[in-house]
Amino acid sequence: MTLSLALEARDLSQLPSRRDEDWRWTDLRGLIRELPAPSPEATADVSAGPFGTEGEAELLVVNGRVCGDAGLLVLREGEARVVRLRFVSATAATGHGVKLAVSLAPGAHLTLLESYEGQAPDYLVDAALNVRLETGARLERVVLAGDHAEGVSVSTASVSLAPGADFAQTVLTDGARRQRLETRVEHPGESAVVRMDGAYLIADRRHADLTTAVNHSGTDGTTDQLVKGVVADQGRGVFQGRITVSPGADRTDARMGHHALLLSDRAEVNAKPELLIFADDVACAHGNTVGALDEDALFYAQQRGIPEAEARAMLTEAFIGEVIDRIVHNGAREVARAWAAKRRVG
């Protein structure tokens, strides 16, 4: 059951609901009472996305229609490029789905600067990426989800890796009416490396769900995950992280960290970190914390002369900064930093 199936079949019963364990905190069936009309072909103002002119090529997807050459996401052996991939939802009260394939031949290197841009309220969007990395290929995916406060957005990336591939991603979001950003990785071990980071800054009544699942099926694989969030007002953040180490996937090194700050009494974080380990010789660790801003640190900053509001902003920005610092692409890292500074919540 997915949003795209529901949109295609025009069948509300295809929507995931709270009865699906993986969707219990991001109920779509309870939210969507009526399926909207399919999104029309639209000309939106697409002058510049959040990544500006970083990189050398852009692939635009407006209302689920690919405007341009999807071949930009298919890299031949040894090829390298930086591509902006922009999903624009431009029409109110309509819905659309889109599927794209990203394919990297051996030794190829892609930096994918992916943005979700909500230009109208009340849209439904389901975007699916199918990603394949061959031996020695490298993908850094930086996702900036800038959905509309009244948009409903689901993005799913299914990633499969060959031995020795390197997949790194950072998902940044400030939520939507309901929003799910999901990544599933088939990890073959065999010196393949995965980094899966995320940051959510949620205010008002927005909702963001970062769900990830990594399945280690071979020996000597690495997964490193750091997700941080700050939730204010009546916002809600969801983190579901599952790392499975299959039988025989020895010498897997898997680390998961999720840390969130709640800035109001009515803010909510739902976290489900899971390490499922069926192999013996592994190094796995996870840490999960949800708490308030450190009052001692706040007083320390104030005692040095920094006004309270500024001190709060400085501390929350620094908290998220740890995730942003791990972005490899320089331009994207600066865009992310500016994004975090602008979206100071609380």
Partner 1 sequence: MLSIKNLHARVEAAEILKGLSLELPAGEVHAIMGPNGAGKSTLSYVLTGRQGYEVTDGTATLDGEDLLSLEANERAARGVFLSFQYPLEIPGVPAMTFLRTAMNAQHKARGEPEVSATEFLKRAREVAGQLKMDFDMLKRPLNVGFSGGEKKRMEIFQMAMLSPRLLILDETDSGLDIDALKIVADGVNALRSPDRAMLVITHYQRLLDYIRPDKVHVLAAGRIAATGGPELAHELEREGYDKYARAA
- Size of interface with partner 1, in residues (CB under 8 A): 23
Instruction: Give the footprint of partner 1 on residues 141-200 (CB under 8 A).
Output: none
CB of 312 to partner 1, least distance (A): 12
Please report whether residue 315 would count as binding partner 1 according to CB under 8 A.
yes
Stretch that binds partner 1, among 44-52, 139-147, 155-163, 308-316 (CB under 8 A): 308-316
Pairing of strands 57-62, 65-67: antiparallel
Q: Which long-range contacts (CB under 8 A, 24 or more apart) does 7-13 make?
A: 7/35, 7/38, 7/95, 7/96, 7/97, 7/124, 7/126, 8/97, 10/35, 11/35
Stretch that binds partner 1, among 35-43, 105-113, 281-289, 312-320 (CB under 8 A): 312-320
Q: State the angle between helix axes of 295-303 and 308-324 in degrees (0 to 180), rounded to the nearest 10.
A: 120
Cα 281 from Cα 277, distance rounded (Å):
10
- Identify the residue among 80, 297, 338, 341 touching partner 1 (CB under 8 A): 297
CB of 262 to partner 1, least distance (A): 18
Residue 270: phi and psi, rounded to 5, are -115, 120
List the structure tokens of 335.
């865009």
Please report whether residue 334 would count as binding partner 1 according to CB under 8 A.
no
Please report whether residue 71 would count as binding partner 1 according to CB under 8 A.
no
The H or E element that residue 286 is part of is strand 283-291
Asked if residues 221 and 249 have their Cβ atoms less than 8 Å apart, the reply is: yes
Stretch that binds partner 1, among 38-46, 108-116, 193-201, 290-298 (CB under 8 A): 290-298
Cα 103 from Cα 82, distance rounded (Å):
14
b/e map of 132-166 (b: 16 or more CB within 10 Å)?
bbbbbbbbbbbbbbbbbebbbbbbbbebbbbebbb
Beta bridge partners of 118: 89
CB of 22 to partner 1, least distance (A): 32
- Identify the residue among 21, 45, 281, 296 touching partner 1 (CB under 8 A): 296
Please report whether residue 265 would count as binding partner 1 according to CB under 8 A.
no
DSSP string of 91-114, one letter each residue: STTEEEEEEEEEEE-TT-EEEEEE
Please report whether residue 333 would count as binding partner 1 according to CB under 8 A.
no
- Identify the residue among 314, 331, 333, 337 touching partner 1 (CB under 8 A): 314
Please report whether residue 308 would count as binding partner 1 according to CB under 8 A.
yes
- Identify the residue among 283, 294, 328, 338 touching partner 1 (CB under 8 A): 294
- Identify the residue among 12, 302, 333, 337 touching partner 1 (CB under 8 A): 302
Binding site for partner 1 (CB under 8 A): 294-297, 299-308, 310-311, 314-315, 317-319, 321-322
